[in-house]
């Protein structure tokens, strides 16, 4: 027995069109999901830079010890018209130098946490990691009058576990894309060239205001001028990460 199937060409074309539309829509959703910021990822990530065409850049300064370099750097930033920068302060240093913390705050600069003990958090157990972050959080909150939400971990060390704990505690982990290597004290010109040549739109620049970095303040006015000459505007890390996309780097847990 022979069977004959009759197709309605008009309806068939309609079904094909609907199917293609569904596939196209799914592709768009997938594409968009692959480009959302770090805050939409299932796993928290560290922020290294922001993908943007705008010439915005964040100068960041870590301070963990010393009392001679921080104040001159704050003064130099102000004298050169930089009103937005981010300082990451360790809590022991902050507790020992509340007057400098107050100067940074009054200058209007953003303050983030640089942790408590200067140790690699990836080597600590979960409870100790939480203790380190919360201790620093309490001290900085009292000193600056608001809760910090950004943290740069000591030595820039972390793994997925540290990232998850920091995220649970309300922190975004901030790294850098341009490392000035100012603490190596290779020379003012070397420092200037390294920062200016590596800088790019959406960049986070790592600098130090601890006493070990002897040449940062001398290089800073030239860095500021040359970046401005290239069309850059200085912003805080928080303002930077309000851009559309955040550049993250996959983290592998340490063995």
Give catalytic residues, as residue numbers.
62, 208
CA distances from 68 to 37, 151, 185, 219, 224 (A): 38, 23, 16, 16, 21
Residue among 105, 108, 117, 100 at smallest CA distance from 66: 100
Which helix (H) or strand (E) is 87 found in, with range?
strand 86-89
The Cα 67–Cα 58 span in angstroms is 23
Only one residue has tokens 């796993």, namely: 43
CA 25 to centroid of chain Cα atoms: 33
């Amino acid at each position: 027995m022979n069977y004959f199937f009759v197709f309605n060409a008009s309806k068939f074309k309609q079904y094909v069109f609907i199917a293609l539309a569904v596939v196209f829509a799914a592709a768009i959703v997938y594409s968009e999901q692959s480009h959302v910021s770090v805050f939409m990822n299932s796993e928290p990530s560290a922020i290294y830079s922001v993908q943007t065409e705008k010439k915005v850049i964040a100068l960041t300064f870590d301070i963990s010890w010393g009392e001679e370099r921080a104040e001159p750097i704050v003064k130099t930033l102000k004298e050169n018209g930089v009103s937005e920068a981010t300082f990451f302060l360790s809590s022991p240093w902050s507790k020992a130098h509340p007057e400098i913390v107050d100067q940074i705050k009054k200058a209007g600069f953003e303050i983030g946490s640089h942790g408590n003990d200067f140790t690699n958090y990836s080597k600590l157990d979960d409870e100790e990691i939480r203790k380190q972050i919360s201790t620093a959080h309490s001290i900085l909150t009292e000193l600056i009058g608001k809760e910090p939400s950004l943290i740069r971990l000591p030595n820039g060390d972390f793994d997925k576990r540290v990232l998850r704990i920091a995220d649970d505690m309300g922190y975004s982990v901030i790294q850098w894309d341009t490392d000035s290597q100012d603490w190596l004290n290779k020379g003012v010109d070397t420092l200037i060239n390294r920062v200016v040549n590596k800088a790019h739109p959406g960049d986070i620049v790592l600098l130090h205001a601890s006493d070990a970095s002897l040449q940062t303040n001398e290089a800073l006015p030239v860095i500021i001028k040359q970046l401005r000459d290239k069309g850059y505007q200085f912003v805080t890390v928080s303002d930077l990460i309000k851009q559309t996309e955040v550049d993250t780097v996959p983290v592998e847990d340490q063995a």
